[in-house]
């Protein structure tokens, strides 16, 4: 959208001033104020967007805590989209943690007590029979490219929150991916909650019953997915914050039916793969040459492992079985090996179970093999942490690893920073500056032996998932294929500062995330066309220009009153 874009708008008076998509507040021109009957609704002076941003930022600074800042910005979003997105885009590094993780977790935890107005679509289990009617009430006549849905079972590290609309994720798609917010829909699938505090809270706004499981849950979710497929076949369906029992299962069930994406599984895996690809660009090796230890085998750890495996199969042209053999997964029972038995090994981990014959004489009296023993035996080149075990990568573990490889790749990814497996400064010191590092939370630079500061890359999903999603939406692909994700990941890795100098960060700075995600989107759409999955009749060479045309920018257009215009 450019500054000269003209909109024919049917709203007048208060209806216009209370519509967040079209409201300009004091930025309405004198001509527009007369045409839309709002001269008396506004103070005399006409402000520029810059002046509005300055005022809003000053107001924001008077809010002393992150949760109060979050509340202020949420209120602004419900009033004026252009001002909201402009303000945040100008202070991206400062304000993303306010509107998203970690502050959004507190906002969702207090959702019922902070509730002021509805935003998005709420589909509740007791109203299953009228789901289609409710869906159409919200969506009929709308052009929707993105649908973000959540059942709120695993919210941002704080667990089951029952009902809490997933608007923050959609906002990130707009801020960093350039998605038009009018074409995004956030959906809460309210299937109850097992959070006892919420079940006893008289102010809880959701369905106050135990969480539905089994056949009833599957039927409810499937009805929703089929509505998306029926009415918006070319949209991206983003699954957000589903619990471990459903996240992977739902993705596998629907990914071949519709363009589906789960950031907790695929986004985390993709940005980690990009960091590893950048690191092996420094070491001049290949993915298939690596030996991986993944410390923490939950949904994030398994998602990372699978994405690395798939990347290896695609990039190095080896079998999945050979790629699986490069991984050693560790959970609370120690190394995942066959003698742990079915009771202690989830079915989704079966591809990565190590044979006991490898560990004779290494396991302790309980049959467990510790992280240190695995490091000693296999001499890993890559050590990934997603365990939330603070300090799990001890000095001895790191130093033993450093003895076995010239440039150890160490990625302590657990969030928040207090739960990180190793402080990157310590890992840098313990390896004499040899480690190639990336973390899941922001950390200050570490000092190299030569005195240079080593920038710690942040494996932030927002460096890639908005671009992956935008690429799928842009190409109107009916699926999000593994090759599309790999193409986007390769593009992100190619932008690594470390490829220019080995002592630079492994990933681009988060402040550059909008331009980085644009490049990711182009790569994804090009791959969709190459695979024959795209729903557009473009050549690969046309994608970049088409993408530029589709990027939404928070700029006020010129309004012309038309009773038959948009409303």
Contacts of 346 (CB under 8 A, 6+ apart): 297
Q: Is 423 annotated as a binding residue?
A: no
Q: How far apart are the C-alpha atoms of 383 and 228, rounded to whole Å?
A: 40
For residue 125, count CB atoms less than 10 angstroms from its CB and return exposed for 0-12, middle for 13-18, buried for 19 or more.
buried
For residue 479, count CB atoms less than 10 angstroms from its CB and return exposed for 0-12, middle for 13-18, buried for 19 or more.
middle
Q: Is 482 annotated as a binding residue?
A: no
Please give the structure tokens belonging to residue 255: 């990914």
The single residue of 24, 69, 77, 169 carrying the catalytic annotation is 169
Q: Is 241 annotated as a binding residue?
A: yes
Long-range contacts of 389-396 (CB under 8 A, 24+ apart): 389/295, 389/296, 389/414, 389/419, 389/421, 390/414, 390/418, 390/419, 390/420, 390/421, 391/421, 391/422, 392/295, 392/421, 392/422, 393/295, 393/421, 393/422, 393/427, 394/422, 395/426, 395/430, 396/372
User: Inter-axis angle of helices 543-550 and 513-531, to 10 degrees?
Assistant: 130
**Cis peptide before 250, with omega less than 30 degrees from 0?**
no
Respond yes or no: is residue 24 known to be catalytic.
no
The 3-class secondary structure across 31-92, one letter per residue, is: HHHHHCCCHHHCCCCCCCHHHHHHHHHHHHHCCCCHHHHHHHHHHHHCCCHHHHHHHHHHCH
Q: How far apart are the C-alpha atoms of 84 and 68, rounded to whole Å?
A: 16
The single residue of 100, 173, 217, 559 carrying the catalytic annotation is 100
List strand residue ranges (DSSP E) for 325-477, in order: 327-331, 334-335, 382-385, 409-412, 436-439, 446-447, 453-454, 457-458
SS3 261: strand
Specify whether the CB–CB gap between 40 and 28 falls below 8 A: no
Please give the structure tokens belonging to residue 121: 């679509």
Q: Is 415 annotated as a binding residue?
A: yes
Respond yes or no: is residue 45 known to be catalytic.
no
Query: Residues at the annotated binding site?
Result: 240-241, 264, 415, 460
Query: Residues at the annotated binding site for a divalent metal cation?
Result: 240-241, 264
Query: Residues at the annotated binding site for (S)-malate?
Result: 415, 460
For the annotated catalytic residues, the residue numbers are 100, 169
């Amino acid at each position: 959208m450019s500054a000269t874009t003209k909109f024919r708008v049917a709203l007048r008076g208060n209806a216009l001033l209370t519509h967040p998509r079209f409201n300009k507040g004091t930025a309405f021109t004198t001509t527009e104020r007369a045409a839309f009957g709002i001269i008396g609704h506004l103070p005399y002076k006409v402000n520029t967007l810059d002046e509005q941003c300055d005022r809003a930022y000053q107001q924001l600074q008077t809010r002393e805590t992150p949760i109060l800042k979050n509340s202020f910005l949420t209120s602004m979003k419900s009033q004026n989209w252009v001002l909201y997105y402009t303000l945040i885009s100008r202070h991206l590094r400062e304000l993303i943690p306010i509107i998203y993780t970690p502050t959004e977790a507190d906002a969702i935890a207090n959702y019922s007590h902070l509730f002021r107005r509805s935003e998005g679509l709420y589909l509740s289990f007791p109203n299953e029979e009228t789901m289609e009617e409710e869906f159409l009430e919200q969506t009929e006549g709308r052009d929707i490219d993105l649908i973000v849905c959540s059942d709120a079972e695993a919210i941002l590290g704080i667990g089951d929150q029952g009902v809490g609309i997933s608007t923050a994720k959609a906002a990130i798609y707009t801020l960093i991916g350039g998605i038009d917010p009018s074409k995004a829909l956030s959906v809460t699938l309210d299937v109850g909650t097992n959070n006892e505090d919420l079940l006893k809270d008289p102010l809880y706004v959701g369905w106050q019953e135990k969480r539905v499981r089994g056949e009833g849950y599957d039927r409810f979710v499937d009805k929703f997915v089929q509505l998306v497929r029926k009415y918006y076949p070319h949209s991206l369906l983003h699954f957000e914050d589903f619990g471990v029992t459903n996240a992977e299962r739902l993705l596998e069930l629907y990914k071949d039916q519709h363009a589906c994406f789960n950031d907790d599984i695929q986004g985390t895996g993709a940005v980690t793969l990009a960091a590893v690809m950048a690191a092996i660009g420094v070491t001049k090796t290949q993915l298939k040459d690596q030996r991986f230890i993944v410390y923490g085998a939950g949904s994030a750890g398994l998602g990372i492992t699978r994405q690395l495996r798939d990347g290896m199969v695609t990039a190095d042209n080896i079998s999945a079985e050979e790629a699986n053999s490069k991984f050693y997964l560790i959970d609370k029972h120690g190394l995942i090996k066959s003698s742990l038995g079915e009771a202690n090994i989830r079915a989704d981990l079966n591809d990565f179970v190590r044979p006991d014959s490898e560990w004779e004489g290494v396991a302790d009296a309980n049959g467990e093999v510790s992280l240190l023993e695995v490091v000693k035996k296999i001499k890993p080149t890559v050590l990934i942490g997603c365990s939330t075990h603070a300090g799990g990568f001890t000095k001895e573990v790191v130093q033993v690893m450093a003895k076995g490889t010239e440039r150890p790749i160490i990625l302590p990814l657990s969030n928040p920073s207090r739960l990180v497996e190793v402080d990157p400064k310590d890992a840098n010191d313990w390896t004499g500056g040899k480690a190639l590092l990336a973390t899941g939370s922001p950390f200050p630079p570490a000092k190299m032996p030569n005195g240079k500061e080593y920038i710690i890359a942040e494996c932030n999903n927002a460096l890639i998932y908005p671009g992956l999603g935008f690429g799928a939406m842009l190409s109107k692909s009916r699926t999000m294929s593994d090759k599309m994700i790999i193409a986007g990941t390769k593009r992100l890795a190619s932008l690594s500062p470390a490829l220019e100098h080995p002592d630079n960060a492994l990933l681009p700075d988060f402040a550059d995330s909008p331009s980085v995600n644009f490049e990711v989107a182009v790569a994804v759409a090009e791959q969709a066309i190459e695979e024959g999955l795209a729903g557009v009749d473009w050549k690969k060479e046309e994608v970049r220009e088409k993408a530029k045309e589709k990027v939404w920018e928070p700029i006020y257009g010129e309004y012309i009153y038309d009773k038959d215009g948009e409303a």
